[in-house]
A and B are shown apart, each in its own frame.
Chain A
């Protein structure tokens, strides 16, 4: 069973640009969450998608957005990039039921804003 796949692994962008990251969850999983990891702030929750709907949102500005497709794949977009957006962006996959379910992470996309 394939794990969580994130693409690309590495990305370098310039301030002011926008970027789109992709996540394919584990087959059969319907929930995808996104997290930002930085040395200063640690792992911070961005948002969760389930069945193409945003179910939960963290405390990030509107420049951070996402979507989920009917095959459960998810994309997140960051517009008007700032230097502080440099981070490892992680996607977590879970089956998505209402009960407690485990979250499995991808390898992440390392975004560098210059």
Chain B
């Protein structure tokens, strides 16, 4: 099955710094999604990407769908304390029988004041 490698596994940054994390896949996806999960809660959708090469922003967040369809990155600019949490990438292969999301292992982000 598909393998998603997400890195880094964890990050400690100072408030105000920019953050970058990425996911690479052994297979092609046609959708990439980025989620944030707080402790004890479900993942919250941050950004959805549907086309290779697509670059999408949501406030301080920017994500790109890699041109090879096998990778995606998420950038967070000017980090603030509420950015703390676990960030997951998720890929979807095709509509139809392969609609399930394959998740990366997560990036634990800690923002230091």
What is A's interface to B at a CB cutoff of 8 Å? 4, 6, 31, 33, 35, 42-43, 45, 48, 55-56, 58-59, 90, 92, 98-100, 102-108, 110
9 extra interface residue pairs, beta carbon distance < 8 Å, beyond A4-B42, A56-B98, A99-B95: A33-B100, A35-B101, A42-B105, A43-B88, A45-B102, A48-B100, A100-B50, A103-B33, A103-B45
Indicate whether B106 reaches chain A with its CB closer than 8 angstroms. Answer: yes
Size band of the B side of the interface? 20 to 34
Contact status A107-B41, CB under 8 Å: yes
Contact status B100-A45, CB under 8 Å: yes
- Set B33, B42, B102: member contacting A106, Cβ < 8 A: B42
> Counting chain A CB atoms within 10 Å of each CB, which of B41, B43, B96, B98 scores highest?
B43
- Please, which residues of chain A bring their CB within 8 A of the CB of B103? 35, 42-43
Indicate whether B56 reaches chain A with its CB closer than 8 angstroms. Answer: no
- Please, which residues of chain B bring their CB within 8 A of the CB of A98? 95-96
